[in-house]
A and B are shown apart, each in its own frame.
Chain A
Amino acid sequence: MIEFSDVSYVYGKHTPFERVAVNNISFKIEDGLVTGIIGHTGSGKSTVAQMMNALIAPTSGKVLLNGADINSSRTESYKTRFKVGLVFQYPEYQLFEETVEKDIAYGPSNMGLDDNGIKERVEMAAEFVGLSKQVLKSSPFELSGGQKRRVAIAGVIAMQPEVLVLDEPAAGLDPRGRSEILGRLTKYRKTSGTSLVLISHSMEDVAEYSDRIIAMNDGRILCSGTPAQVFSHHEELKNSGLALPQITNIMLKVKEKCEKQGINTDFLDSSVFTVEDAYNALLPILRTSDGKGDSYVK
């Protein structure tokens, strides 16, 4: 479990360029769950990501992993990097080896594993992200953008971290690439039991895959909790420049229209954020408007 307690981070302290990126925040990342961190550009979410594995130490406050301060010593920070795997934004630019296989092996070999252990982990990680044996032997620079992204993610998964933190894992991918990567990651989470932290500005992605959501704005936490709890704060989210999931927007519009017509909207829950929820919310009304409601929805 990762715990942030009263953490602040200031860039360029004591210079004219001083900027507070994270302002006194506290939260917990619970084990075995998918936690989504949302916020628009400059809200401090990437800084939070880098503090999770001690790449940067907070200016004030503490970051605890399983109760221990990860910034207490250099060795502690170094060890944390293997326990909390961090996949950066556009991670494909970190690839450097001759073959995909060697590149994925970079992390595990830094852990000091023997050749067999490394091989096992590389194969495991490649399978999770869906890279074929043939791809493993090729140069990472010959691959497509989406494949490179998967190689980079595999490079971190191969270290088998307790917590996997991904900064915008789906940025710049086409819709199919997006759902493929996010789908594989949640599948990986289910099989391995690793906690997942998804950092994104896309409400859709976070809403669909997260168990818990932390919404950030201007270096502070705007609201947090289950997706339903967070999306019920739709006014605040909108004011801080975060777009709601499209389906939530549709439901809010429907509710508004109904209210204008004087229709009772108690049955419409405004915190609907997946198509599944929308279906369940709309089902009763279709049934009541027409005796054979079932023919409208399958």
Chain B
Amino acid sequence: MLNDITLGQFFPGNSLLHKLDPRAKIIFTILYIVIIFSAKNPFSLAVAAILAVSLTALSRINIKTILKSMKPILFIMVFTAVMNIFWTPGENVLFSFGKITVYYEGVRFAVMMVIRLVLLITGTFVILTYTTSPVALTDAIERLTSPLSKIGVPTHEFAMMMSIALRFIPTLIDETDKIICAQKARGADFETGSLLKRAKALIPILIPLFISSFRRADELASAMECRLYHGGNGRTRMKVLKLSARDYMTSLAFAATLALIIFLNTRFEAIL
């Protein structure tokens, strides 16, 4: 019932992207977003597309999986495209239909906008969510934000909370599924009736879910204390993150792409 969630799922693997340092990957993701948004004409966008395609190839993630993750944002893409096609003023009329006039510029703009969105999703997913385990990700966030702990921001605690939250998402989905089934077996009906009736039907699911979450949190806290967990101070790591040659090489590739795009932007007229 709730097992169709692919958005933000980690696929274990052994590719180059899987092996990159997670801290570097966060920075690459930011860099990638900068690249996508600085590509302002078809040529620089093509360069960005080449980067996205090579990253996807390197990650060895099934193309079907990537297409499937586009589904939730399909509506946004169609909406942006339609808005841009009909509301972009221009000079070259493509066709007009009553009051509505569609310009060549509008269509061009919409196409590029959609490509940009697709690249944005594919790239960030391939670099970060699909190839980075949640544990590595929170670890990286903790390390990247650690300078903030000097001014009193509890970065370790935030990271710990985040990894615990991530760890419990599948558990909670399972649990919700079970409770839904159990209440359905007692004749609960979530599919018919007015909005108010349907909202009320959720109470028998939410209350047991909250109660078991609190119970779980309590048990987890005790279990952590039993193992002498006392916060981040003086805590050492089993896996120490270390930048390697492949991280430096990848950053070089990203920097080169960004430079090329900036160069192309100066040569051609900006469209986006």
Contact = CB atoms under 8 A, between A and B. Distances in A.
The finding on whether chains A and B are genuine partners in a shared complex, rather than unrelated, reads yes
Interface of A: 12, 50, 53, 55, 74, 78, 81-82, 85-88, 91, 93-96, 106-107, 110-111, 141, 155-156, 159
Most chain A beta-carbon neighbours within 10 Å: one of B179, B181, B187, B207? B187
Contacts of A106: 183, 186-188, 204
B183 A82 contact: no
24 contacts: A50-B181, A53-B185, A81-B184, A81-B185, A81-B186, A82-B187, A85-B185, A87-B185, A88-B178, A88-B182, A88-B185, A93-B175, A93-B178, A93-B208, A93-B212, A94-B183, A94-B208, A106-B186, A106-B204, A107-B186, A110-B188, A111-B187, A141-B211, A156-B186
A81 B187 contact: yes
B96 interface: no
Chain A interface main SS type? helix
B215 to A, nearest CB: 9
Interface string B171-197: 000010011011111111101000000
Interface of B: 3, 175, 178-179, 181-189, 191, 203-204, 207-208, 211-212
A196 B87 CA distance: 67
B140 to A, nearest CB: 27
A94 B182 contact: yes
A95 B187 contact: no
Given A85-B185, A87-B185, A107-B186, 16 more contacts: A12-B3, A50-B181, A55-B184, A74-B191, A78-B189, A81-B186, A86-B185, A88-B178, A93-B208, A94-B179, A96-B207, A96-B208, A106-B186, A106-B187, A110-B187, A110-B189
A271 to B, nearest CB: 35
Given A96-B204, A96-B208, A141-B211, A55 B189 contact: no
Chain B interface main SS type? helix
Contacts of A91: 182
A86 B208 CA distance: 18
Contacts of B211: 93, 141
A82 B185 CA distance: 8
Contact of A88 (B181, B187, B191, B204): B181
A141 B188 CA distance: 21
A156 B178 CA distance: 16
Contacts of A53: 185
A191 to B, nearest CB: 22
A159 B208 contact: no
A12 B189 CA distance: 24
Most chain A beta-carbon neighbours within 10 Å: one of B179, B184, B188, B207? B184
B185 to A, nearest CB: 4
Contacts of B191: 74
A81 B190 CA distance: 14
Contacts of B184: 55, 81
A11 to B, nearest CB: 8
Contacts of B204: 94, 96, 106
Nearest to B211: A141
Given A12-B3, A81-B184, A93 B179 contact: yes
B3 A55 contact: no
A110 B186 contact: yes
Contacts of B189: 78, 110
Most chain B beta-carbon neighbours within 10 Å: one of A87, A88, A94, A106? A94
Most chain B beta-carbon neighbours within 10 Å: one of A87, A110, A141, A159? A110
Contacts of B208: 93-96
Contacts of A159: 186-187
A32 B257 CA distance: 75
